Amino acid sequence: TPSAPPASGVLLDSLRRGLSSLAKPTDATMPTAGSRPMPAAVGDNPGQQIYRSSIPRTCLIVTFRNGKTSSLGSGLLVSADGLVITNHHVIENADNLAVKCGERESVARVGKRSKEPDLALLTTTLNRVDGFVLNDAYNQELIGLDVFVIGNPYGLEGTFSTGVISGLREIDGVRYLQISAPISPGNSGGPVILRDGSVIGIATMGLKKGQNLNFAIAAAELIRSGLFDPGRMKTSTAPSRNK
């Protein structure tokens, strides 16, 4: 039987304690979600622009089981009233949930969930920030496009990686993007972003035997999954060209 949910303040205090106990790099200071961005350099590149605009909408998800922190994952804000998308496997064994998006924190509840595709929709109090636009393109024109991934691998908040869309794969009837951007445990549920800032996929899994063989559930799959609320989420239908 799941334990009774603790008060919101207790969950958020646990979230803060968990974050403060994570190992921190000693040789350099890494940016964290919600940290003040560095001044733009001359010739500010697209990756920097994507990072600055996306980090307030990218979430750390902390799961609790039997009153203790259980695991960490990633998610993305998809509406101005606080809806967050993540993978089902991130939250499936949790009694309680908390999220941190940028500098803001909230308890979360599971609104809808689906094992296939591996997705869950969370409700939070994180309103007044526009969510990501979901891009439902899924065709051969996507192959070769640059992608940017933000997430929390092994609890390292706001980790940013880049790559390309390497292929389109359908596995057990679910549409995936194969991407070369590095992802690790803790990235699950995070956004895979095109140069125009729209989300083309949700980071989900990688093959351990091989290099840069990683997969994201296509955003188009979310839209047809039944978790999508067209009245609250924004979509785009055009692939973003590299420029």
Q: Is the N-terminal amide bond of 117 cis, ω within 30° of 0? A: yes
Residue 26: what pLDDT? 32
Sign of the dihedral defined by the CA atoms of residues 120, 121, 125, 129, in that order: positive
* CATH of the structural domain 133-236, one choice from 3.30.360.10, 3.40.50.720, 2.160.20.10, 2.40.10.10: 2.40.10.10
Residue among 14, 71, 161, 188 flagged as catalytic? 188
Residue 29: what pLDDT? 39
Residue 14: what pLDDT? 58
User: In the chain, which stretches have pLDDT less than 70?
Assistant: 1-43, 209-210, 238-241, 243
Residue among 70, 81, 89, 229 flagged as catalytic? 89
Is 88 a catalytic site residue? no
Is 157 in contact with 177 (CB distance < 8 Å)? no
Task: Say how far apart CA 176 and CA 16 lie, in whole Å.
Answer: 34
Residue 28: what pLDDT? 34
Is 89 a catalytic site residue? yes
Task: Say how far apart CA 239 and CA 162 lie, in whole Å.
Answer: 17
Residue 80: what pLDDT? 93
Sign of the dihedral defined by the CA atoms of residues 86, 89, 90, 93, in that order: positive
Q: What is the greatest pairwise CA distance in the chain?
A: 57
What residue ranges do the domains of the chain occupy? 8-123, 133-236
Q: Which two tokens stand for residue 189?
A: 């549920």
Topology match between the domains 8-123 and 133-236: yes
Task: Say how far apart CA 237 and CA 100 lie, in whole Å.
Answer: 29
Please tell us whether the domain made up of 8-123 is placed in CATH 2.40.10.10.
Answer: yes
Helix/strand/coil for 222:
helix
Residue 39: what pLDDT? 53
Tell me, yes or no, if the pTM score tops 0.75. Answer: yes
Is 190 in contact with 153 (CB distance < 8 Å)? no
Is 92 in contact with 81 (CB distance < 8 Å)? no
Residue among 14, 54, 118, 136 flagged as catalytic? 118
